[in-house]
Amino acid sequence: MSNKAYIGLGANLTSPARQLWQALHHLAALPETRLLASSSFYRSAPMGPQDQPDYVNAVALIDTALAPLALLDALQAIENQQGRIRTRHWGERTLDLDLLLYGQITLDLPRLKVPHYGLKDRNFVIQPLFELSPELVLPDGKALVDLACTTNDLVKVAPPLCDCRTLR
């Protein structure tokens, strides 16, 4: 295992924080994968239609031997396992798992774009990512710190996991 990947987690239906906890357990149990760290959980206002509940967001860092598309399949299987409900475009959902970064790889496939297309302009991704890895540099050479947003519209609702080994 030697590929570090960052996964964005988001939920705003059916006990969102519990969905994130459960997803972290599932990430920790993936084959050939170790969960290295998770950020705090943040409450964030919805991007998209405003008549939906606030989201809970976090970012996890994993070390994995799964190739990017195999990892994507595994993330979608976790979403489905947790009874993913998605009602409308940019609407409410039980669980979203986005592959944000996979090492320094850039991919532009029909099923998968890495880095994730929304990474640079979503506070609910940038802030937890920054908490985990303030010195991160993106594949295009841009430092995360230069993206770090000035607006502070995210509220921390749970502290980070201290010891991911307890998840196994």
Residues that bind ligand ROI (CB under 6 A): 10, 44-48, 55, 57, 90, 96, 124
Q: Which of 34, 88, 93, 121 is catalytic?
A: 93
- Which two three-digit tokens encode residue 122? 């979503």
Beta bridge partners of 143: 137
Does 96 participate in catalysis according to the annotation?
yes
* Contact indicator for 27, 38 with CB cutoff of 8 Å: no
Which has the closest alpha carbon to 35: 15, 57, 7?
Answer: 7
68-81 and 16-28 helices cross at what angle (nearest 10)?
A: 140
Does 108 participate in catalysis according to the annotation?
no
State the minimum distance, in angstroms, from the CB of residue 126 to ligand ROI.
Answer: 12
State which residue has the least CB distance to ligand ROI: 10
Does 34 participate in catalysis according to the annotation?
no
* Contact indicator for 58, 164 with CB cutoff of 8 Å: no
Q: Which of 18, 73, 88, 96 is catalytic?
A: 96
Instruction: Output 42 or 102, the one with its CB closest to ligand ROI.
Output: 42
State the minimum distance, in angstroms, from the CB of residue 24 to ligand ROI.
Answer: 15
Q: Which of 18, 43, 98, 168 is catalytic?
A: 98
State the minimum distance, in angstroms, from the CB of residue 135 to ligand ROI.
Answer: 24
State the minimum distance, in angstroms, from the CB of residue 30 to ligand ROI.
Answer: 21
Q: What is the sign, positive or negative, of the torsion defined by CA atoms of 23, 25, 29, 33?
A: positive
Instruction: Output 26 or 116, the one with its CB closest to ligand ROI.
Output: 116
Distance CA 40, CA 121 (A): 19
Catalytic residues: 84, 93, 96, 98
